[in-house]
Amino acid sequence: MTFKTLDDMGDLTSKRVLVREDLNVPMADGQVTDDTRLRAAAPTILELADRGARVMVLAHFGRPKGQPSEEFSLKKVVAPFSHVLGRPVRYIDWEGDKAAVATLADGEIAVLENTRFFGGEEKNDPAVVERFASLGDLYVNDAFSAAHRAHASTEGLAHVLPAFAGRSMEAELVALEKALGSPEKPVAAVVGGAKVSSKLDVLKHLVERVDHLIIGGGMANTFLAARGIDVGKSLCEHDLTGTADEILDAADKAGCTVHLPYDVVVSKEFAANPPSLRTCNVHEVAADEMILDVGPAAVEALADVLKTCRTLVWNGPMGAFETVPFDKATVALARTAAALTKEGSLVSVAGGGDTVAALNHAGVAGDFSFVSTAGGAFLEWMEGRVLPGVAALQKD
Ligand code: ADP
Ligand code: MG
């Protein structure tokens, strides 16, 4: 995988640089409630400005469906972004953009209005690509989280302007390459979460690539059911047991060892610290019980598996971690992975909305080699798909 980075941009003095960032931050009452994405954008923006470029940020905000509106205006993100950058940031709307861009000074930073105010943005319409391209000399894509979409600002621009990966994009691509592109073996994957149906393509792709596939969470129940185990009232997609069997067969053929829990934490009601809580063998789940977490014996065995591995990729919690004590397996395994990473014996890459929340809950997100906050793009990458925004950055 080769792509150009900021290191390949040469002298940027007075160059007009269009930078695609992800500024789609959650807001409540006019305040940004989580500024992770703004902080992720900062290194690229500051570096370009410091190198004398005239920096124009392109981003979408919400789903305005091609209609300009106050609700979806990026104007309200300008002040919080300026705060994170520690620099003044100008706002430029789509009425006077040409004239405003012409007044940008070297090292100045501006946020252009929501790219999705143009209906052609999401259609990758050449006219919109041209509209954006006319404002800049160079293009930087720093939004991995939007790279699974072939839109004008995420893909089209890379074909008409010299294109480079920003620092966040670069870090993401390097980490993902290490985890699944050309990983050090043995490789383990942890896949958990609620449903098999949302991660079928992930599982199918992983069995061909990893040495150990650790299945936890609600989706493990479907696999247990496929093996003839009665999972009681557990979340289980009984209509997918055939598919689960196919995945197990494919794993067998590919030499991938699948690890399913052999003890589990169950209860009759789904509540915090329920009175009916108990740990049992998977063969002993009663008809009125639900499996809500992987059991301690299985977790210990899985920790031993991780100790033999050099690379780990993780998506999906092992149990219903939002409710105590069903966070135990996720927390324990996450801490093992973090400790092995710190020792230098494991490269650990994780991603997924709830997975990131679970790792934060375990207090170890910072100890993983890389944690992707990209959501949909991360999952598509785990499915082995080519992300159009990334493909367009690839050299030759
Ligand atoms: P991610 O967002 O990281 O991709 P998912 O959305 O696939 O993860 O799954 C996360 C959800 O799975 C969590 O809300 C968690 O409570 C749920 N979950 C995990 N294990 C179980 C289980 N045994 N029964 C029911 N829900 C579960
Ligand atoms: Mg989720």
- Centre of ligand 2 to C-alpha 318, Å, is 13
pLDDT at 387: 95
pLDDT at 124: 98
Checking if the pLDDT of 396 tops 70, the result is: no
Instruction: Find the residues whose C-beta lies inside 6 A of ligand 1.
Output: 192-194, 198, 217-218, 235, 291-292, 315-317, 319-322, 352-355
- Centre of ligand 2 to C-alpha 352, Å, is 6
The number of CA neighbours under 13 Å toward the Cβ of 36 is 11
> Under CATH, to which class is 6-170 assigned?
alpha beta
CA distance 100 to 92: 7
CA distance 123 to 182: 33
CA distance 276 to 61: 46
Q: Do 6-170 and 183-382 fold alike per CATH? A: yes
CA distance 53 to 271: 55
Indicate the pLDDT class of residue 395, thresholds 50, 70 and 90.
low
CA distance 289 to 280: 11
What pTM was estimated for this model as a whole?
0.93
Query: 8: part of which helix (H) or strand (E)?
Result: none
Residue-range domain boundaries for the chain: 6-170, 183-382
> Under CATH, to which class is 183-382 assigned?
alpha beta
Known catalytic membership, residue 375: no
Q: What is the pLDDT of residues 126-151, one digit of tens each?
A: 999 999 999 999 999 999 999 999 99
Known catalytic membership, residue 376: yes
Q: What is the pLDDT of residues 226-269, one digit of tens each?
A: 999 999 999 999 999 999 999 999 999 999 999 999 999 999 99
